[in-house]
Amino acid sequence: MVVLLVGGGSVLMNAMIDKLNKNGHRVYLLTGQKEKRFSYKHVFERYDFPYENESIKDILESARPDVTIFMGAYDTNFTWESPRQDSVRYMAGLMNILSACSMMKKGKFLYFSSQEVFGESHIDDIGEEEPVSPKGFRAMALAQGEETCSNYHRTQGMNTIILRFDHLYWVPEKGKREDNPCFRMCLEALRTGKISANERRIYSMIYLSDAVEQAYGLICKEAPKHACYHITSGEEIGETQMAKLIQGELGSGIEVVDATAGMANRLVLDGNRYTGELGHEIFNHYDTGIRKVAQFMKRHSASFITEEDTGGGLAVKAWNNTRRILRAVFPYIENLICFIPFFLLYNNAANSAFVARLDFYLLYVLLFAVVYGQRQAIFSGFLAVIGYIAGQTGTRSGFEVLVDYNTYVWMAQLFIVGLVVGYLRDQLHFLQSENRARVDYLRGQLKDLEEINDSNVRMKHNFESQVVNHKDSLGKIYEISSTLEQYGPEEVLFYAAQVLSKLMDCEDVAIYTVANGDYARLFSATSPEARKMGNSLKYTAMEELHGELKEGRVYINRRMEEKMPMMASAVYSEDKMQLILMLWGIPWERMTLGEANRLTIVGFLIQNAVVRANRYLEALRNRRYVEGTNVLDESAFTQLAKAFFDAREKGLTEYVLLEILTEDGNYESAGKTLGSAIRQTDYLGILKEGKLYALLSNTNKENIGSIKERFRSAGYECRVEEAVV
C-alpha cells in the first residue's frame, strides 16, 4: 500500500513512518516547507513543497497514494504564535490538498484532529456525533478542517475519515516544547519545584504508540463504516492523580499545590465506535506512559529549563544558581586570567630594546574593548592601572608614582582609548543586530511579494485561458443560450435546464416554476440528484434562500448545507417571480462571486426566452383552448404532450397521461368540474379521436392514486395512457 504523509517533522510523524515501514508499506512524505530541516529514514520519496503550491496536484498524480494522511492538529508547520495568519494558511493548505485528492478520485483521506474541537465541559463521554464547540483560533481552524473534509465526503464522494485524538502525549525530544497536560506538569515541576493541580479537572489521555496502533487499524481497513472516529484510551484521570504520579517519579523535592477553582471540567472522548468496529488494547496505561515522560525529562532537565527557572529538587536548584553565577562572572574571570600574561610582558618589556616602546596594557585594554565592549574595557582598564602602579613601585616609591603627572596622562589615554573603542564596538553590534532584524523583515516582505506575484501569475494564466478558450465569454454564453429559440414555446423550459447545465458546467440542474406566492413546482431537472428537494416545495419557508431571491441576489450555500442547492437564482417577469434555477453539483472552490455573476447573466438570457414563449402562448390562448373551457384543443395538446414525451426520453422530466372517460363529450362541463381537481402545472386537453386527457407534470405512476381518487369523486373514471400519437 502507498501512503502519503502530509506534515512537518515531529515525534508523531516519525512514529507513523516507522509503523508503516515495519509493515511493508511504501511511504511518501510532503513536508509542507522549502527548508530541509529534518532528515527521515524509511521514506521512499520526500517532497519539500508548501501546501499552497500548485505542484501538489502533480505530486499526488505522481505518488498515486492509496491513503493520504494530513497531520492537522499535530502539524509542526503551524506554530499558532500568530493564530489569525496560521488559521488562514492552515485552511488554504488543507483546501488545496483536498481539491487535488478529489480530482485524483482514488484512496482514503485521513484528517488528524484532537479533543480541542470540544471546548466546553461535558458530563458524559463525548461521542462522534456530538456538535463541536471550539474555543480559540486553533480549535476553530481544526473544526473548520473537519467540516471541510465532511463536505468533500458529502458533495464530492471522497472517502474522508476524521480521527480525533484524545489528549495525545509522548516522550518529548530534548529541549522541545510540547502541548499536552503531562508535559506541562513535568515542565512546571522542573522549573518551579511545584505542580499546580485542579482536582475538578478530569480528562483522558492516550500514549503515542497506542494512538498509532489505532490509527493504523483505520489505515488498513478497506471500508470503514463511519466518517469520524475517536482515538482514546477510555481511561479517566484527574489532574491531582496525575500530579502525584509525576511527583513520585521526579522525587520528594516536588510539591503538589492544590489549585482547585471554578466549576467541574470534564472532557473525555467516547471510543466505543472504534472499539466496536475494530477493537483495541491499551498497552501504555497512565502509570507506564507518565513514568516514561517524567524520567526522560528528569534525565535531560538541563535542555528544558532556563537560567531564570528555580528548578525542581535541591540539586537542580543548586546547579541552576551555580550556572547562572558562572555565566555572569565568566567574562571577568577570563579578563583576570588574561591580565596575568600581559602583566608579565609589560614588566619584562622594559629590559628589551625591541619592545620597550610597546604598551602591552594598552593592547590588553583594546583587546577586551573590541571583544566585549565598554564594560570589560573599564574593568580591564582598572586592572591595567593596578598593574602599572605595581610595576612602577619596584623602582620608585608609591608616593612618587601617584604625584607623577605622566601616570595620569597615561591613565587618561588608556581609558579614553578603551571607552571609545568599547563604545564603537557596542554601537557596531547594535547596528548589526538592527540590520539583521531589518533584513529578516525585508525577507519576509519579499516572500510575501513573491507569493502575491505567484497568485497574480496564476490569475493571469486563468484569464488568458478564458480568452483563448472562450468558455466563459459573453459571446459564448449568448451563443449557447440562443439555442432556446429553436424550440417551440412548449419546449423552452425543458431545454432551458440543459442550456443552464452546459453554461454553468454543472450536471445537476433543476428548474422550478412558482405556482403561487409560497410554493414552487419542479418542471425539469437534469439528474436524480437535482430532484432531491422533491416535486413541490415551500420556498418561502427557506428563510436564507427566499431572502436572497427576494432581493434579486444569487443564493450561495456557504454553510454547505446538505439539503440545500449549492447555488440558486430566480427569474422574474413584471416584478413577479416566475422560475427558480437551482444548481447542485458545483464544487466548493467554484462558489465565487464570478460564478454568481455568470448565473445572473444566464438567468436573464433564459428569462428572455421563457417570457417570450409565455407571451406567445398567452396571445394564442383563444385559439388553443376549446371555446368557453380550460381544455386545450387537439392540436395544442398534441404538441404539449409530444414536448413532455421528448423531455422525458432525455431525462428532463416525468409525467403521467390519464384518459378521462366521458360519455357525452361535454368538455366544458368536464373542464369546469376537473379544473379544481388538478394542479396549476397540470393540463387538460383533447387527444386521439376527440377523447379527453389530463397531463400530470412531474408525476409518476406510483403517486397518482390520490389524483385518480379526486377524479372519481368528481364523477369521472380515468386510466393511464402509455403512448403519444
Q: Which residue has the cell 525577507?
A: 443
The closest of 628, 724, 625 to 684, measured between CA atoms, is 625
Q: Would the CA dihedral through 542, 547, 551, 554 be positive or negative? A: negative
What is the structure's pLDDT at 332? 82
What is the structure's pLDDT at 249? 87
654-699 pLDDT tens trace: 778 888 777 666 666 777 777 767 776 677 888 777 778 888 777 7
Beta bridge partners of 570: 580
The rounded distance, in Å, linking the Cα atoms of 674 and 630 is 10
Q: Is 251 left (phi over 0), alpha (psi -120 to 50) or beta?
A: left
Helix/strand/coil percent split, the chain, to 5: 50, 15, 30
What is the structure's pLDDT at 273? 93
Q: What is the rounded (10 degree) CA torsion for 687, 689, 692, 694?
A: -30
Determine whether domain 1-165 maps to CATH 3.40.50.1220: no
The rounded distance, in Å, linking the Cα atoms of 73 and 365 is 55
What is the structure's pLDDT at 584? 87
Least confident of 82-91, 107-116, 479-488, 525-534: 479-488
* Residue 511 pLDDT exceeds 80: yes
Decide which of 1.10.3720.10, 3.40.30.10, 1.20.1260.60, 3.30.70.270 is the CATH code for 623-721.
Answer: 3.30.70.270
Cα of 551 vs its chain's centroid, Å: 32
| pLDDT bracket for residue 620 (50, 70, 90) | very low
- The residue-averaged pLDDT of 526-530 equals 85
Are 151 and 227 in contact, with CB atoms under 8 Å apart?
no
Are 81 and 138 in contact, with CB atoms under 8 Å apart?
no
| pLDDT bracket for residue 463 (50, 70, 90) | low
Every domain of the chain and the residues it spans: 1-165, 316-436, 474-619, 623-721
The rounded distance, in Å, linking the Cα atoms of 343 and 364 is 9
Using a 10 angstrom Cβ sphere, with 0-12 exposed, 13-18 middle and 19 or more buried, the burial of residue 684 is buried
What is the structure's pLDDT at 588? 73
Highest mean pLDDT among 31-45, 141-155, 174-188, 440-454: 141-155
* HSE (side-chain half, CA atoms, 13 Å) at 34: 4
Are 624 and 637 in contact, with CB atoms under 8 Å apart?
no
DSSP 269: B
Using a 10 angstrom Cβ sphere, with 0-12 exposed, 13-18 middle and 19 or more buried, the burial of residue 679 is middle
Is the model more confident about 375 or about 93?
93
327-367 pLDDT tens trace: 778 878 888 888 888 878 777 765 666 666 677 888 888 88
18's grid cell: 516507522
- Fold of the CATH domain 474-619: Beta-Lactamase (3.30.450)
Whether the domain at 474-619 and the domain at 623-721 fall into the same CATH topology:
no
252-304 pLDDT tens trace: 678 888 888 767 788 999 999 999 999 888 899 999 999 999 999 888 887 88
- The residue-averaged pLDDT of 169-198 equals 88
Q: Report DSSP letters for 64-107, one per residue.
A: --SEEEE-GGG-TT---SSHHHHHHHHHHHHHHHHHHHHHHT-S
Is the model more confident about 217 or about 713?
217
Least confident of 210-224, 473-487, 539-553: 473-487
* Residue 489 pLDDT exceeds 60: no
Q: How many helices (H) and strands (E) does the chain have?
A: 22, 25
Is the model more confident about 95 or about 320?
95
Q: Report DSSP letters for 22-57, one per residue.
A: HTT-EEEEE-SSSS-----SS-SEEE---TT-TTHH
Is the model more confident about 725 or about 516?
516
What length is written for the chain?
725
Q: What percent of the chain has pLDDT over 90?
A: 22
- Which are the contacts of 278, defined by CB distance < 8 A and separation ≥ 6? 214, 217, 218, 221
The rounded distance, in Å, linking the Cα atoms of 302 and 321 is 13
Is the model more confident about 2 or about 280?
2
The rounded distance, in Å, linking the Cα atoms of 367 and 414 is 12
- Which are the contacts of 228, defined by CB distance < 8 A and separation ≥ 6? 128, 146, 150, 161, 162, 163, 164
Q: Which residue has the cell 465569454?
A: 473
Q: Is 336 helix (H, G, I), strand (E, B) or coil?
A: helix
638's grid cell: 398534441
User: Where does 557-633 have alpha helices with state H?
Assistant: 593-619, 621-624
The closest of 247, 265, 248 to 256, measured between CA atoms, is 247
Phi, psi (rounded to 5 degrees) for 657: -105, 120
What is the pLDDT of the chain when averaged over all its residues? 81
Are 4 and 30 in contact, with CB atoms under 8 Å apart?
yes
The rounded distance, in Å, linking the Cα atoms of 235 and 233 is 5
The closest of 109, 84, 79 to 97, measured between CA atoms, is 109
Phi, psi (rounded to 5 degrees) for 169: -140, 160
* HSE (side-chain half, CA atoms, 13 Å) at 260: 9
373-405 pLDDT tens trace: 888 888 888 888 888 777 777 667 767 777 777
What is the structure's pLDDT at 89? 92
Element (H, E) at 581: strand 576-583
The closest of 198, 297, 282 to 241, measured between CA atoms, is 198
The rounded distance, in Å, linking the Cα atoms of 345 and 339 is 10
pTM comes to 0.49
